Amino acid sequence: MAYRIFTHDDITEFQRPPTQVASWLLNKLIMCNEVVLRITETEAYGYLDDKASHAYSGKKRFNATMFGPKGYLYVYKIYGIHNCLNVVCGADSSPAAVLLRAAEVVEGEQLVQERRNRRELQTIASGPANLGVALGIDTGFDGIDLLACSPVRLGFDGTLPPENQLCGRRIGLGKRADEAALYHWRYGVPSSPSLTKSF
């Protein structure tokens, strides 16, 4: 199946506020080698004043990609084992990103099943950690330009973001972001079986 692959000609899409990019990314495709996933759930993380954002504590070695060019892949590890994928976005002078929380398999079902050691395709890429495993992505992919000829690309097959998309509070933020937890910055494709259970 042919897809339209996003390039640097599309950079303005990624230079918008993270909430807009998070909404826009729904039903877009993320692909790595032989696997293509349809993004069904996202979560926006804002600028230096967003206590839930990795950028809030300033530029560090682990979050440096967030402070760089837009349209790059920011990968960080949680609990020492899970790799979470983010798309860097926002204004040029401000760090922001969109966490990819869930997806559906479009191509590469067998490879994804082998990576996840399970057969249930509907929820096999549900949750940020599972999405990363499904694509075979780890922190070694951090800093990849998604809009260039790289191993990881973003694409489009004509399916638009849903008009009635879900919108809810961000989750798993911890005590450091009590106020930020009230923001309705999580977006989802209605009725998708891949959505995380907390939606």
Q: Report yes or no on whether pTM surpasses 0.85.
A: yes
Q: Report the run of H or E that residue 30 belongs to, with start and end.
A: strand 29-32
Q: How far apart are CA 159 and CA 153, in angstroms?
A: 17
Q: How far apart are CA 193 and CA 22, in angstroms?
A: 19
From 41-50, 66-75, 141-150, the region with the lowest mean pLDDT: 41-50
Per-residue model confidence as pLDDT tens digits over 97-145: 999 999 999 999 999 999 998 878 889 999 999 999 999 999 999 999 9
DSSP H stretches of helix in the chain: 11-14, 18-24, 109-116, 128-135
DSSP state of 28: -
Proportion of the chain above pLDDT 90, given as a percent: 72
Q: What's the chain's average pLDDT? A: 92
DSSP state of 81: T
Per-residue model confidence as pLDDT tens digits over 24-48: 999 999 999 899 999 999 999 987 7
pLDDT at 175: 62
Amino acid at 102: A
Helix (H, G, I), strand (E, B) or coil at 5: strand
pLDDT at 85: 98
Helix (H, G, I), strand (E, B) or coil at 17: coil
Tokens 């998309």 found at = 165
- Backbone dihedral angles phi then psi of residue 76, each to the nearest 5 degrees: -130, 160
For the CA atoms of 73, 161, 122, 113, the dihedral, rounded to the nearest 10 degrees, stands at -30
pLDDT level of residue 177 (50, 70, 90 thresholds) = low
Q: Where are the domains of the chain?
A: 4-188
Proportion of the chain above pLDDT 70, given as a percent: 95
Q: Which CATH superfamily is domain 4-188 in?
A: Methylpurine-DNA glycosylase (MPG) (3.10.300.10)
* Whether the predicted pLDDT of 164 surpasses 70: yes
Partners of residue 100 on adjacent β-strands: 42
Amino acid at 54: H
